[in-house]
């Protein structure tokens, strides 16, 4: 961030600390797209993502005084959004974990599989996973949570977290391979 942008950002945060609506609106406009990109990975549709983003911003506005201006804003904001998404999933009782431990089959993938599909296509494939698999996959692979943290946040065992991650990866590998094979046939 340039010095003038950093100064503007600090002014926006200070305004938010004073519950200034203009500053809150400016922060919302700055980080809404980023927030949506995170939330879309966790919920089933855009309307739910908007709800999670808005709930997340409410938490940000209520707790903005706790934010340390010396640290980057995005990681702090992302943590709030991920936790908000997880809470919404739990609250809606949509979270049905597959508990049985089974050996996941290793699915062979082509070396350049990911280079043949776009980011949007890959995110669509992640979105197609079951809610349980998608949530654990996002938390572990994309947001960097450890299995112990995932287990605590979701109220599952560490072995269930590991199992769901293994199954999510296997399912994704299969979906990517299938998508590439369909593309090759065309």
- Gap between the terminal Cα atoms of the chain: 45
Interval 150-181: pLDDT, tens: 999 998 999 999 999 999 999 998 888 887 77
CATH number for the domain spanning 63: value is 1.10.1740.10
Residues 174 and 124 in one domain: yes
Q: Do 87 and 124 share a domain, yes or no?
A: no
22-66, pLDDT tens digit by residue? 999 999 999 999 999 999 999 888 999 999 999 999 999 999 999
* pLDDT averaged over every residue in the chain: 84
Number of folded domains that form the chain: 2
What are the Cα distances from residue 33, in Å, to 46, 59, 61? 12, 17, 17
Examine the domain organization and report whether 176 and 130 are in the same domain: yes
Domain that holds residue 81: 3-91
């Amino acid at each position: 961030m340039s010095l003038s942008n950093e100064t503007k950002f600090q002014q926006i945060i200070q305004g938010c600390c004073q519950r200034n609506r203009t500053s809150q609106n400016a922060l919302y406009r700055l980080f809404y797209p980023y927030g949506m990109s995170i939330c879309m990975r966790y919920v089933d549709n855009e309307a739910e993502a908007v709800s999670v983003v808005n709930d997340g911003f409410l938490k940000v506005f209520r707790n903005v005084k706790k934010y340390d201006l010396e640290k980057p804003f995005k990681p702090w904001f992302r943590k709030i959004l991920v936790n908000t998404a997880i809470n919404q999933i739990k609250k809606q009782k949509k979270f049905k974990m597959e508990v049985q431990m089974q050996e996941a089959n290793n699915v062979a993938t082509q070396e350049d599989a990911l280079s043949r599909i776009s980011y949007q296509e890959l995110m669509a494939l992640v979105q197609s996973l079951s809610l349980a698999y998608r949530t654990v996959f996002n938390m572990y692979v994309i947001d960097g949570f450890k299995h112990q943290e995932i287990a605590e946040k979701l109220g599952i065992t560490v072995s269930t977290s590991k199992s769901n991650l293994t199954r999510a990866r296997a399912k994704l590998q299969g979906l990517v391979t299938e998508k590439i094979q369909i593309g090759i046939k065309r």
